[in-house]
């Protein structure tokens, strides 16, 4: 029930385009942060 209704809204195309551009512009930082997080998780699994 919840899943079926969780997408019961429309996305604003201009907003999606703006968010996409922000992601593309900052991708190197996002990728770096994800790598740091992955390293942290892998270290935590070793303990």
pLDDT in tens, the chain (47 residues): 455 666 667 889 999 999 999 999 999 999 999 999 999 999 999 97
Residue 5 lies in a domain: no
| Helix (H/G/I), strand (E/B), else coil: 9 | coil
CA distance 26 to 21: 9
Instruction: Indicate whether this model's pTM tops 0.85.
Output: no
Tokens representing residue 13 in the block: 């195309």
Quick check: is 7 in a domain?
no
Is residue 29, in this structure, part of any structural domain at all? yes
Rounded Cα gap, residues 8 and 33, in angstroms? 32
pLDDT value, residue 2: 54
Give residue 34's domain range.
20-46
């Amino acid at each position: 029930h919840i899943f079926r209704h969780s997408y019961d809204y429309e996305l604003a195309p201009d907003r999606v385009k703006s968010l996409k551009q922000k992601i593309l512009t900052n991708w190197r930082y996002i990728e770096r942060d994800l790598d740091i997080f992955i390293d942290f998780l892998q270290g935590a699994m070793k303990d």
